[in-house]
């Protein structure tokens, strides 16, 4: 069997998604997600102009060889654009392999290690009361783990807060990036009160998570971790900018609050120090941004040696194809921790028909051959690409800060 076609489809059913479609001489079609929020067309071009021509004529069964060919063959290594492009090819080839074998991808990866994949949802609010009500709704829907984000009083546009008009949280805006304002001092005083309120109303029988979104210095993060210990968070995420791996030594020296890092990192080398020095508890690298299933499972294998668990990024800007791929891998690894499940807003469901399910706080990728996602290209054509940017964050004196 040979690869006979590879094309990139950029569409915006609810938000922008970049999809790679790989066709084979046997008529089997595989799909991969290549979405990099706010920089979508860079990956689309990387694939269209530099990768798709290389795929034609290759044997789709040789997934690892193709990965090595694209990674080492480019000479230029790592980085979100490269690793997202390679991920799309990798995931599409796993999809093909599953369809050829008539097996779901998790069976190709060694089979299920558990009955279901524990997922966490997002509860947020413009104040603690609104957050608390959203939290209660998540519990009613069956979630066993919920991320909490509340607007810091006085800080307009705190990360993670939806506009409050019934729309889900979606940071990307058209035209120019929105600008948010931030001061860590108010946040550091406020965050423990959010946890206190949630634990007081809902007790300790549910996992509570929180995303700091890269905003603190190491010593501030250490202080936050220590202040939250009594509320037993499942984790705090990205407490400092993730690219400075050594910063986590400072945080680790001061607190037992579990740490999750990695959604902006793209390779095993980016998380090597974090894992081998046991500076984190959960690694958040994703299928889409970390070289696909083939590379991410190496990250997880390294993490397993050091007692680090998975906690993959699963925001709505990773397409349903990426979510399906994540669930297959989550099911098959021994050191699974938790999976983010933000969901996708409509009309994404008209373009991506998925077979994964949610029940009582757990997801399952289903048993359809391959990934179990059908990509409807004709439906995708009805939702053309819209340029969008993530926000930019400034401190109150105007200094650009991590968003």
- The C-alpha atoms of residue 309 and residue 113 are separated, in whole angstroms, by 14
Cα separation, 288 vs 278, whole angstroms = 24
**Packed helices 292-305 and 320-332: angle between N→C axes, nearest 10 degrees:** 40
Taking the complex as a whole, how short is the minimal distance between the CB of residue 264 and Mg ion, in angstroms? 8
In angstroms, the CA 33 to CA 86 distance is: 10
Backbone dihedral angles phi then psi of residue 37, each to the nearest 5 degrees:
-50, 125
- Asked if 124 touches Mg ion (CB under 5 A), the answer is no
213 is a catalytic site residue: yes
* Length, in residues, of the chain: 403
Catalytic residue among 106, 122, 207, 213: 213
Supply the minimum distance, in Å, between the C-beta of residue 5 and Mg ion. 35
Among 40, 124, 211, 330, binds Mg ion (CB under 5 A): 211
Of 249, 273, 251, 250, residue with least CA distance to 262: 273
Which is closer to ligand GCO, CB of 74 or CB of 264? 264
Could you say which of 263, 270, 281, 330 contacts ligand GCO (CB under 6 A)?
263
Among 60, 340, 372, 393, binds ligand GCO (CB under 6 A): 340
Sort 203 into a burial class: Cβ within 10 Å, 0-12 / 13-18 / 19+: exposed
- Residue closer to ligand GCO, measured from CB, 213 or 323: 213
Choosing from 17, 46, 71, 159, which is the catalytic residue? Answer: 159
Q: Please, what is the minimum distance in Å from the beta carbon of residue 353 to Mg ion?
A: 27
**Looking only at residues 21 through 50 of this chain, which bind ligand GCO when binding is defined by CB under 6 A?**
37
Could you say which DSSP state residue 370 is in?
Answer: B
Question: Do residues 181 and 218 make contact, with C-beta atoms less than 8 angstroms apart?
Answer: no
Q: Residue 50 carries which DSSP code?
A: I
Among 334, 341, 326, 331, CA closest to 292: 326
Q: State the minimum distance, in angstroms, from the CB of residue 25 to ligand GCO.
A: 37
How far is Cα 323 from Cα 328, in angstroms, rounded to an integer? 9
State whether residue 118 is helix, strand or coil: strand
Alpha helices in 46-127 (DSSP H): 52-55, 63-73, 80-101, 105-108
Task: For ligand GCO, give the closer residue by CB, 66 or 266.
Answer: 266
**Nearest residue (CB) to ligand GCO, 66 versus 285:** 285
Q: Which is nearer to ligand GCO, 289 or 295 (CB)?
A: 289
* Euclidean distance between CA atoms 52 and 324, whole angstroms: 23
23 binds, among Mg ion, ligand GCO, none (CB under 5 to 8 A by kind): none
Q: Which is nearer to ligand GCO, 3 or 242 (CB)?
A: 242
Could you give the string, one character per residue 50-89, with x where binding to ligand GCO holds by CB under 6 A and - elsewhere? ----------------------------------------
Site string for Mg ion, 153-192 (x = CB under 5 A): ----------------------------------------
Catalytic, 159? Answer yes
Phi, psi (deg, nearest 5) at residue 204: -110, 10
| Shortest CB 130 distance to Mg ion, Å | 21
* String marking each residue 306-325 x if it binds ligand GCO according to CB under 6 A: -------x-x-x--------
Out of 211, 220, 281, 330, name the contact with ligand GCO by CB under 6 A.
Answer: 211
**Do strands 117-125 and 362-364 pair parallel, antiparallel, or not at all (unpaired)?**
antiparallel
| Catalytic residue numbers, as ranges | 159, 213
Give contact residues for ligand GCO (rule: CB under 6 A): 37, 211, 213, 263, 313, 315, 317, 340, 390
Give contact residues for Mg ion (rule: CB under 5 A): 211
């Amino acid at each position: 069997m040979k690869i006979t076609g590879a094309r990139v489809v950029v569409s915006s059913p609810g938000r922008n998604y970049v999809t790679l479609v790989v066709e084979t001489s046997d008529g089997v079609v595989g799909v991969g997600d290549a979405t990099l929020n706010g920089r979508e067309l860079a990956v689309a071009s990387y694939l269209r102009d530099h990768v798709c021509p290389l795929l034609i004529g290759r044997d789709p069964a040789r997934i690892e060889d193709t990965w090595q060919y694209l990674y080492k063959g480019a000479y230029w290594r790592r980085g979100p654009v490269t690793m997202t492009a390679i991920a799309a090819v990798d995931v599409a080839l796993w999809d093909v392999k599953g369809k050829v074998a008539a097996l779901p991808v998790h069976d190709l990866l060694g089979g299920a290690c558990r009955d279901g994949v524990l997922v966490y949802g997002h509860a947020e609010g413009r104040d603690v009361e609104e957050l608390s009500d959203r939290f209660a709704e998540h519990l009613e829907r069956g979630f066993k783990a919920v991320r909490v984000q509340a607007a810091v009083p006085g800080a307009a546009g705190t990360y993670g807060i939806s506009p409050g008009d019934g729309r889900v949280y979606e940071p990307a805006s058209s035209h120019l990036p929105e600008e948010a304002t931030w001061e860590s001092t108010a946040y550091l005083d406020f965050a423990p009160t959010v946890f206190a309120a949630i634990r007081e109303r809902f007790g300790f029988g549910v996992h509570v998570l929180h995303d700091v979104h890269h905003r603190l210095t190491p010593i501030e993060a250490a202080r936050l971790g220590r202040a939250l210990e009594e509320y037993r968070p499942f984790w705090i995420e990205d407490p400092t900018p993730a690219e400075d791996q050594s910063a986590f030594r400072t945080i680790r020296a001061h607190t037992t609050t579990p740490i999750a890092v990695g959604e902006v990192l793209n390779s095993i080398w980016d998380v090597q120090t974090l894992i081998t020095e046991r500076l984190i508890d959960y690694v958040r690298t994703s299928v889409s941004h970390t070289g696909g299933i083939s590379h991410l499972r190496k990250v997880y294998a390294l993490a397993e040696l050091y007692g680090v668990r998975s906690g993959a990024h699963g925001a709505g800007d990773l397409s349903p194809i990426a979510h399906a791929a994540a669930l297959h891998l989550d099911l098959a690894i021994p050191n699974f921790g938790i999976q983010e499940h933000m969901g996708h807003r409509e009309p994404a469901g008209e373009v991506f028909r998925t077979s994964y399910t949610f029940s009582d706080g757990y997801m399952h990728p289903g048993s359809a051959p391959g990934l179990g996602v059908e990509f409807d290209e004709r439906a995708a054509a009805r939702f053309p690409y819209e340029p969008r940017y993530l926000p930019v964050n400034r401190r109150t004196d105007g200094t650009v800060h991590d968003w």
